[in-house]
């Protein structure tokens, strides 16, 4: 018989079910490494699965004291602190909270939240681990890169162009009527689209230059590149970055660029503020000397409150520094010596609007968190209890074992679910199932079995004899 017709003795069966189908899930919904990585495409990892009911109190305080306050009011809060109440401060969901906050702000540039009072974008900044960001100029570099990443420069450019086009070509509204924001953004960033529609780039640029806010900017500002040359370049966000890193060599020039020139540019594009969310702020002072801390605080104060840059005058950027409970003690002296303590006390004696306490999960929130993850991976059309296969008492037990630390809980339930898959009789995961499987996450002495690696250690006698290890 031809091999085309021959069949193997065994063949997979079409009704074979997926691994997690047993629990009505398409995959394990929980991350195995629960640390937010914004660049990950996996929604379990990038903070994309987020239950807004959790940390609602913190979110409400930020809404009321920051997002809803009119930006043009000069006394609005320009600096706030989100302090994790647990000393260790890792894995409580701060990064996920921030990523989500950023998304909510950017969704409609804060216009919906503030009833049209503010048009603001959000920037997520995360200082490098390992203490490379020690000085204020170093921090400004990271801030600048985060601004680029947030897309604010690109969308401002698009906003300026669109406004100019509308003045010069009144019929544009018909063309773009059905465009999504995304398509508009990419078209306005494409030279080809301009030529397809016969828009005169030169005229549009000239129209943009008339904007009041742009009049104070120096001639080398990237938006003006090639203004007086024969061939008009098509400016993109890349030009800004090239200018920043190639032309601005001195740190003072970079600070002026970010805190004055960019502010004017954003204002011209119709923004009246921005929220800068600095995650893991402790990574900066942890590695600084006392003097570096004071200098940092002084420069921050100058750029936010008292200096001569546009930002200090107008209060454009609103900073939210996020850190754990040990940090105020660490930087208290520097804050006091630099005068920051008068501007935005980090150790306030009474509860203050600008200090947001980030609490641990409660029992109820822990259940909500799990339900949210499960819902994301629930197979469509399957009617099950939203917490299935977990029971409430199992969640409480996991919560107790992990001290209601969100990251630890997620990791534990990830492993419990894997374990339950292998066990044939586990239909639900209840507290006794958790207790029976404590060994998979117990980090206590019970797992301290002598597993000293044989053969890996240097054998001194052999080494002394000159034998190869």
Partner 1 sequence: MAIQSVKKFYFLDYLHILLDSISQYDKRIDVLTSFLVLKRRYSLGESKYKKLTVDTEDITDGRIRRYIYTFNQVISEALEYKLVKATNNLDSIHLTELGEKLLSKYKERGSVSFNEELFRFMEDKYGAFRYLVSKLYAANRTLPGLLFLPSYSPRQLGFERESIKTTNDFIGYSEALVEKLGNDIEKYVGQRRDLTNENQKLVMRLIKTDLLPSDYKKCFDPKKYNVITKRFRDFWMSYFLQKVYHYDFSMNSFDLWTYRGKQIGIIHATEFNPYFCGKIVYPLSVIMKSVESRDFDELYRYDDGYSFFIHKPRWSENQEQFVAAIWEAYVDLRRTYRSYFVNLMALREIVCLSTKISEKTFEDFMNRTYKLNLSGKLQIRISLEVDKLPEETGAMYLKREPVMIDNKYRNIIAIDATKGGRAEK
For binding to partner 1 (CB under 8 A), which residues are involved?
35, 86-90, 129-132, 282-283, 286-287, 324, 326, 403, 405, 408, 411, 441, 443-454, 456-461, 463-466
Strands lying side by side in the sheet with 120-125 = 120-125, 273-278, 317-324, 79-84, 355-358
Q: In Å, how far from its chain's centre is CA 461?
A: 53
Q: H helices within 243-360, ranges in order?
A: 251-256, 262-268, 290-301, 310-314, 327-338, 340-343
Q: How far is the CB of 82 from partner 1 (least distance, A)?
A: 17
User: Which CB, 86 or 251, lies closer to partner 1?
Assistant: 86
Residue pair 320/330 in contact by the 8 Å Cβ criterion: no
Q: How far is the CB of 466 from partner 1 (least distance, A)?
A: 3
User: Which CB, 73 or 459, lies closer to partner 1?
Assistant: 459
Q: How far is the CB of 328 from partner 1 (least distance, A)?
A: 13
User: Which CB, 199 or 287, lies closer to partner 1?
Assistant: 287
User: Which CB, 15 or 461, lies closer to partner 1?
Assistant: 461
Q: How far is the CB of 455 from partner 1 (least distance, A)?
A: 8
- Residue 419 tokens read as 């374990």
Q: How far is the CB of 465 from partner 1 (least distance, A)?
A: 6
* Angle between helix 181-188 and helix 152-168 axes, rounded to 10 deg: 80
Q: H helices within 356-405, ranges in order?
A: 363-377, 392-401
Q: How far is the CB of 439 from partner 1 (least distance, A)?
A: 11
- How big is the chain, counted in residues? 469
User: Which CB, 266 or 404, lies closer to partner 1?
Assistant: 404
125 forms bridges with which residues in the sheet?
Answer: 278
User: Which CB, 132 or 210, lies closer to partner 1?
Assistant: 132
Residue pair 83/358 in contact by the 8 Å Cβ criterion: yes
| Measured distance CA(263)–CA(132) in Å, rounded | 26
Q: How far is the CB of 226 from partner 1 (least distance, A)?
A: 35
Phi, psi of 192 (to 5 degrees): -60, -45
| Measured distance CA(274)–CA(71) in Å, rounded | 9
User: Which CB, 283 or 371, lies closer to partner 1?
Assistant: 283
């Amino acid at each position: 018989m031809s091999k085309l017709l021959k069949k193997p003795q065994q063949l997979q069966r079409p009704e074979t079910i997926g691994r997690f189908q047993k629990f009505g899930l398409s995959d394990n919904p929980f991350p195995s490494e629960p640390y937010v990585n914004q660049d990950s495409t996996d929604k379990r990892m990038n903070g994309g699965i987020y239950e807004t009911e959790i940390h609602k109190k913190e979110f409400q305080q930020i809404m009321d004291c920051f997002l809803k306050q009119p930006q043009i009011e000069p006394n609005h809060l320009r600096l706030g602190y989100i302090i994790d109440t647990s000393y260790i401060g890792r894995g409580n969901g701060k990064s996920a909270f921030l990523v989500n906050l950023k998304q909510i702000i950017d969704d409609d540039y804060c216009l919906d939240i503030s009833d049209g009072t503010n048009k603001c974008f959000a920037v997520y900044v995360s200082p490098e681990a390992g203490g490379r960001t020690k000085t204020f100029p170093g921090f400004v570099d990271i801030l600048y890169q985060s601004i680029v990443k947030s897309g604010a420069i690109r969308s401002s450019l698009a906003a300026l162009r669109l406004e100019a086009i509308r003045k010069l070509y009144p019929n544009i509204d018909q063309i773009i009527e059905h465009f999504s924001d995304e398509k508009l953004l990419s078209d306005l960033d494409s030279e080809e689209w301009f030529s397809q529609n016969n828009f005169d780039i030169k005229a549009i640029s000239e129209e943009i230059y008339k904007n009041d806010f742009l009049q104070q900017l120096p001639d080398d500002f990237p938006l003006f590149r090639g203004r007086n040359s024969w061939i008009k370049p098509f400016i993109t966000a890349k030009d800004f970055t090239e200018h920043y890193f190639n032309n601005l060599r001195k740190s003072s020039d970079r600070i002026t660029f970010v805190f004055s020139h960019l502010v004017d540019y954003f204002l011209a594009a119709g923004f009246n503020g921005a929220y800068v969310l600095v995650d893991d702020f402790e990574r900066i002072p942890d590695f600084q000397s006392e003097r570096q801390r004071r200098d940092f605080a002084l420069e921050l104060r100058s750029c936010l409150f008292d200096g001569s840059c546009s930002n200090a005058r107008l209060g454009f950027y609103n900073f939210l520094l996020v850190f754990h409970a040990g940090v105020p003690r660490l930087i208290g002296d520097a804050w006091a010596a630099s005068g920051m303590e008068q501007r935005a006390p980090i150790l306030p004696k009474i509860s203050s609007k600008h200090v947001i306490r980030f609490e641990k999960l409660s029992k109820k929130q822990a259940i909500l968190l799990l339900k949210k993850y499960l819902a994301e991976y629930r197979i469509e059309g399957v009617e099950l209890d939203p917490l299935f296969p977990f029971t409430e008492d199992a969640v409480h037990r996991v919560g107790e074992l992990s001290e209601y630390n969100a990251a630890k809980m997620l990791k534990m339930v990830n492993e419990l679910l894997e374990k339950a898959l292998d066990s044939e009789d586990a239909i639900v995961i209840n507290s006794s199932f958790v207790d029976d499987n404590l060994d998979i996450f117990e980090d206590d002495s019970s797992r301290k079995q002598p597993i000293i690696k044989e053969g890996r250690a240097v054998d001194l006698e052999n080494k002394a004899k000159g034998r190869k290890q």
